[in-house]
Structure 1
């Protein structure tokens, strides 16, 4: 171990040696850290003056996990199992001093120690399943021996991150230290004996509890192969053979690491980190935001108010009259009551958050807030009128945001004398639940306003994605193409049920027609009517959805849309819809043909990717991975597929282009292959180039 360059150092405190890891920012288990730990354990094992060892990541840290960048590379020595084995086999007590995150491989290191002390902000968890893999250095085997099979299945399969006091209650930590954690660990270490989890039996468990844990894990797996593998190796601990369990775990880990699912999840992991890097915002400070007003207290406005209150902001909910404002507060209260009933909040937490929201019909209150979010009806005249009023009321420097889904942000900003303060904050329903937040940049949006919106998104626990200004921005612009081509498939011979079944088989929780029914068919209907004057007459237009709306079939809210719904809300195919579709085919002279599930999947993926390529080339999205994050977090695209742009690359860009050309033939104007896609295919480029394009 090179004492000068190694991120791992040894400090002596009498008979206790502290092995300190210093590899900013989070002490990831890079090759240098692994080598440093292995060298330190060898040195201290051989030193007769050392009676005990403390592993420390320094103030506020431990080891946050593997270096994800290395996972796509060939394994480099030493591998983590060697490091963990060295800690486990050490003849001297080893105490982990966990003052921050001990996740993934960091948790495996901690489990190899004899004792684990945590600070109040310690976080512990085996989070590998979030990346499509399982622990590969004994984590499943030691966790089962520490907390039992049922609890281990729950912790590993959910990838749960456990806070200090909860970790103490579960037995993951032996103590939580409020004061100087390192001093406490140094004092305790020489008093402890060896307690290797590898030598412990698996605790007797309740067969019913274990079966329930397996059922819950498989239900939440959503097709992820890592979950079934984790269950298999954890339940295998019952045979008591630790070495055999290690071998089984490692073999499963190596297979999963090379899987398509793990590759997709690694892509999303890096995409999330790239999304926050916006050119031009380097060193730009966000404006302080402690209070907000939400204009419009309907379902969306109430959800936005909850999201802001959850982030600790004081929120004024503004409506046209006192009765409407109180009704809006009632919607907010109902959200918190459901969270309390469901156990997500304590009654005290629910009351505290509700107390941050104040209803009013007095626009004068807007003058005192740092942020205004307009959540009124999706109509340009309505929104521009609101922004003219805001311009006269809001204090200088306040951020003025609109929740518009489609409308021209520049036109809205132009209604004010301060367009630099205007930004789009496009929430997705339900606003307090959905993770995606499109942060829409108008032509005049100031850099610090954009930085403020991104910081606010992160504070609310959202995944903020910067989008340029166009009709529908990133998500809805691409989604409109996706929906249009789903309707083409129906017009050409597929049934709504067949399309939805194909999408669910691909990994979507719901098919597009079921989603349309849930959202309300009148929303897309209004959007189509708004575009009538500007629609290219050469674009194919399928009027089936229009006809359904005109028949009063608005979706679930009217108990009839693409499907019929019974009193319990169960969907079923409806003969009336089949008649409407058949009539539309007859009118257009269409001879229906059959489509396989794979044909449906390929067509819809291709048109999404093609629309994404246009969005990318126009600069509406900063990078292809931002489009993937938008669809995974806002539109139900399966995480295990990595998003439409990633999935298109995996399918092969030449195959995508071929499918897009067929879609163009089916759809006409507006569906031409994207120049970017054509250029990449002609030049023989791969998905890696797609990501950089």
Structure 2
């Protein structure tokens, strides 16, 4: 077995170092060697203190999550290691840097002292994986920093800075340079201090009336157990019990709660989502040593809301950006939006005034497209008009420097055609950002038929640099996300024509877990935007020969009901609050009458969920059959990060596997019989039929 834990000595200070790249995860082998190291040090009379540190770019950033799928976590138990550290005859000092998360922070809580680099982030993010801290986090953290502060960290799963950790007493000192030397000096200063009272597990904890009030307030804000709140509620209960149980009793209760959470569908879904996101960044069959293109400067064509958001995404990562538009008025609005956005970040304390000014200065605006000619990557972000986009790509092919990557932000159009227009086919792909682009993390990277491998690899690497979650799609209408969205929106509209109200449809899907129902979503994004996509499809002849297809959004558009921006769409708006609108309901009833659709009153929430989600899932199977997506997890990643799909359900494809593809097939067959299938809306892809049969 390779040495994942080593021991050295500098004078009278023992140094235990964990070296398990890339994140020093607490694997079984690490635990075995860590336990062995401390057992050997237990009776070493030559040392007066022990430094516990990690090699590489970070301290231990958590457990080996793959072990969660095992019936039991392999021995040694982390709690045995923690107990041994607490019982050492000399003080143990955790020396933290990078990210100290989950099991890494729990390990530090067993040490007598904690010091950290000033840039360190630390937290207990287990609830984001549908579990809770299972190795003492819920028992030791409240004993150290107080119940209310600990509860906030544990149920949110959010990391805190070293400065904040020092403030609340989680760390004892922070250093801004030469961590090793300063930590050594710190160790030498505490060798003569009695460290017996530094054992966190022995500290008393009593919940005050304020603590109990805060607990009730926090728990009331948590989702219910069936809506993704199982782990957070269990974590809150464990933390509460730290005030009434001994450490041993609390650890036993915590472990039982951890195992119970681990075995839920919620945790399995969240762990799937975690791994799917990381897998989505990997492109099959690409050589590891493939040389990437050097991207140092960015050009954006189109200074509307989307183009401006994309510009800020790159500026936030330190890239100089040229934002080009033919309209001086549009550029003025873009500059105003940039200033307003960054000022908002300053007001909220997310940026200093200097940081905001630096990011603003990175974005230059111009009407002259020749200023794009020196950019390494140019992203076209004009509105969804194919003729205009084709003309832009022809022009970019003429003016861009050799080797520049040309990308379209189109949400649905054929990027292969745009590549041909540019005359630089290998240099072209799609980069579909989601609005607002400076906030939404999803990026669909669209590989054209002849995109050069190094271009695809470069943009996937670039996505990480600008803090995006990227997934690759092939070329088809709507790519992965919007293609699947079509069936979802189609059935939502049919349900409106059949008598369901917008609020009933939205509530059913929001109760399922969607961040926003389809009617509210379109009203917010813009009915006009959605209608123009449908009209573009109609123009290209790609719509089904069904005169009821997406007729609702088209009629709303014709009547000037554009959604929130006009205070009327599927709903009427009082400010930003949607209110059921009699005029809209009458419009839906008229449309139903025009098309011979009988309205009914027996539509259930379950029917809404199944009719909207199952076509979406079926389309996902087709996408995999056609090779548009590499993996089902890539589809889940797109929906989790771009469309508000509930993480606790793992994504639409994972959800199908959870409930069983046979259930999806049976329901689709029933809907085909109930609503008819003249246009193939309920056709079952062969791969879904096969999965259902198995």
Q: TM-score range by the shorter chain?
A: over 0.9
Work out the CA distance in 1 between the residues paired with 2:671 and 2:537.
21
Q: Is the 8 A contact 1:58 1:99 kept in 2?
A: no
Aligned to 2:270: 265
Q: Following TM superposition, by how much is the alpha carbon of 1:102 offset from its aligned partner in structure 2, in angstroms?
A: 1.7
Aligned to 1:200: 203
- The answer on 1:579 being equivalent to 2:586 is yes
Runs of 4+ in 1 over 6 A off after TM superposition: 203-206
Aligned to 2:691: 680
Q: The residue matched to 1:55 in structure 2 has which SS?
A: strand
Aligned to 1:526: 532
Mapping of 1:123-272 within 5 angstroms? 123-189=121-187, 191=191, 192-194=193-195, 195-202=198-205, 207=210, 211=213, 215=217, 219=221, 221=223, 223-239=228-244, 241-272=246-277
Give the TM-score normalised by structure 1. Answer: 0.93
- The answer on 1:391 being equivalent to 2:397 is yes
CA deviation profile, 1:421-480 (whole Å, cap 9, x unmatched)? 111110001000001000011112111111121112111111011110010000000011
Q: The residue matched to 2:32 in structure 1 has which SS?
A: helix
Q: The residue matched to 2:60 in structure 1 has which SS?
A: coil
Q: Point out where structure 2 has 5 or more consecutive residues left out of the alignment.
A: none
Q: Please point out which of 26, 30, 35 is paired with 1:33.
A: 30
Aligned to 2:375: 369
CA deviation profile, 1:238-258 (whole Å, cap 9, x unmatched)? 337333332332222221111
- The answer on 1:472 being equivalent to 2:478 is yes
Worse-superposed segment, 530-539 or 265-274: 530-539
Q: The residue matched to 1:646 in structure 2 has which SS?
A: helix
Aligned to 2:70: 73
Work out the CA distance in 1 between the residues paired with 2:573 and 2:560.
14
Q: Following TM superposition, by how much is the alpha carbon of 1:606 offset from its aligned partner in structure 2, in angstroms?
A: 1.5
Give the TM-score normalised by structure 2. Answer: 0.93
C-alpha change, 1:180 and 1:547, in structure 2 (3 Å) is closer
Work out the CA distance in 2 between the residues paired with 1:226 and 1:669.
43
Q: Is the 8 A contact 1:540 1:668 kept in 2?
A: no
Residues matched between the structures, number: 678
Q: Is the 8 A contact 1:218 1:227 kept in 2?
A: no
Q: Please point out which of 439, 444, 447 is paired with 1:438.
A: 444
Q: The residue matched to 1:368 in structure 2 has which SS?
A: coil
Q: The residue matched to 1:465 in structure 2 has which SS?
A: strand
Work out the CA distance in 2 between the residues paired with 1:228 and 1:386.
53
Q: The residue matched to 2:667 in structure 1 has which SS?
A: helix
Work out the CA distance in 1 between the residues paired with 2:667 and 2:262.
30
Q: Following TM superposition, by how much is the alpha carbon of 1:113 offset from its aligned partner in structure 2, in angstroms?
A: 0.3
Worse-superposed segment, 341-350 or 374-383: 341-350
Work out the CA distance in 2 between the residues paired with 1:461 and 1:217.
31
Q: Following TM superposition, by how much is the alpha carbon of 1:161 offset from its aligned partner in structure 2, in angstroms?
A: 2.0
Q: Is the 8 A contact 1:540 1:669 kept in 2?
A: no
C-alpha change, 1:324 and 1:241, in structure 2 (3 Å) is same
C-alpha change, 1:590 and 1:180, in structure 2 (3 Å) is same
Work out the CA distance in 2 between the residues paired with 1:338 and 1:182.
39
Q: Following TM superposition, by how much is the alpha carbon of 1:185 offset from its aligned partner in structure 2, in angstroms?
A: 3.4
Work out the CA distance in 1 between the residues paired with 2:671 and 2:462.
40
Q: The residue matched to 1:53 in structure 2 has which SS?
A: strand
Q: Following TM superposition, by how much is the alpha carbon of 1:10 offset from its aligned partner in structure 2, in angstroms?
A: 2.4
Work out the CA distance in 2 between the residues paired with 1:310 and 1:341.
17
Work out the CA distance in 1 between the residues paired with 2:671 and 2:688.
14
Q: Is the 8 A contact 2:206 2:243 kept in 1?
A: no
- The answer on 1:424 being equivalent to 2:434 is no
Q: Following TM superposition, by how much is the alpha carbon of 1:501 offset from its aligned partner in structure 2, in angstroms?
A: 0.8
Q: Is the 8 A contact 1:373 1:401 kept in 2?
A: yes
